[in-house]
Amino acid sequence: MSTVPIGPIHPVLKEPLRIKLVLDGEKPVDAEIEMGYVHRGIEKIMEGKHCHKGIHLAERVCGICSYIHTMTFAECIEHISKIEIPDKARYLRVITCELERIHSHLIASAVYNLSIEHETLAMWLLNVREIVMDLMEMISGNRINMSYNVIGGVRRDINREMMDEIYKKLDEFEEEIKNIIEVFETGPLIALRSKDIGILPYHEVMRTRAVGPVCRASGLPESDWRLRHATYQELDFKPVWRTEGDNFARMMVRHEEVLESVRLIRKALEYYEECSGDIRVKAEIKGGKGVWKNEAHRGEVTYKMEITDGGIIKRIMIRTPTVMNLEAYKYMLKTCPTVADAVSTYTSIDPCISCTERSIYIVKDGKEIPVGVKHP
């Protein structure tokens, strides 16, 4: 047995962590994952701050999927305080959330294609992503951290001219992404490096509690939390899933989810056109405890909060999807023939390290004590 370190700085890693691959000859058999390179302690920083400041911190839990964090933060507060937001705001949240899901999935696919040395397809994906980024900027004024959600609704409305532009750009984008999917499905190099590599069987999904596209590629469509969200139910959302459980299936789930996101945006725009009134309500924030879950682009994201009357955050806990998917990665190594396949399999789970690194543990007398717990 030998050990090969990957990271914390490596060309294929978007964010720093160290993977210690255990090899039997050339074949990976296990992995030890070391984290802690980008910890920022956002949960602790939020404590004692007003929720209007907290929502800006929530947006900085992650860069690529920043929007879903503000949406989940706001909906958790609205759930605790029993705030009903206007229909316009509900549909605008879906539109902007699905635009961000598309941009996240395209980055994930581009990084995966780079890991299997298909640079042409990777650059094509990043170029097509610019269409979506332009729409996000047009709606919110920003390309990444949109600062669009507020408690009680959204910050900016859209007009007829913007709606026409969204429809036009979606038609252009959909044609491009269908061509990309065809290339991915039929490419011999992609098949050689992706099919039957990094398989995660159904029973090991249940053991590791994997979530998001990782989970749905192994036969669990019901894992998508959009099925439980009232607005998505109204829009007749249909989850995308496959059964192969390999790298190819995980990437195809993301590609097909992009097309489902386009459909959802079009339908949300149709419903939006029938709405009247404001895009936000004056929110009276009431104290209490609550939990809210949404389907982030990598899987289930959970916000558990306790707030005071008026909106001071007493305690907040955030669980993001990568922590479960990293555990599943170790099981995928069983069907990785080489170190190169172990690297591409890692990118196929689309890990987000900054999302995951928020927990601090203090070791006292050989025991780990989470921060926020009264020390004995």
65 is in an annotated binding site: yes
Rounded-to-integer distance, Cα 229 and Cα 226, Å: 5
Q: Cβ-count burial of 322 within 10 angstroms (0-12 exposed, 13-18 middle, 19+ buried)?
A: buried
Q: Is 102 left (phi over 0), alpha (psi -120 to 50) or beta?
A: alpha
215 is in an annotated binding site: no
> Hunting for tokens 């956002």 — which residue is that?
42
62 is in an annotated binding site: yes
Judge contact between 259 and 237, C-beta under 8 A.
Answer: no
Rounded-to-integer distance, Cα 179 and Cα 20, Å: 37
Cis peptide before 8 (omega within 30 of 0): yes
Judge contact between 259 and 248, C-beta under 8 A.
Answer: no
318 is in an annotated binding site: yes
Nearest to 92 by CA among 145, 10, 159: 159
Nearest to 241 by CA among 201, 204, 212: 212
Please tell me the number of Cα atoms within 13 Å of 173 on its side-chain side.
Answer: 30
What's the distance, Cα to Cα, between the start and end of the chain in Å?
42
Judge contact between 43 and 316, C-beta under 8 A.
Answer: yes
Q: Please report, for residues 131, 184, 330, the alpha-carbon distance to residue 21 in angstroms, rounded to integers and kept in the order given.
A: 38, 28, 10
Neighbours of 301 (CB within 10 A): 27
352 is in an annotated binding site: yes
Annotated binding site for Mg(2+): 43, 62, 318
Residues in the annotated binding site for Ni(2+):
65, 352
Which residues participate in the annotated binding site for Fe cation?
65, 355
Binding residues: 43, 62, 65, 318, 352, 355
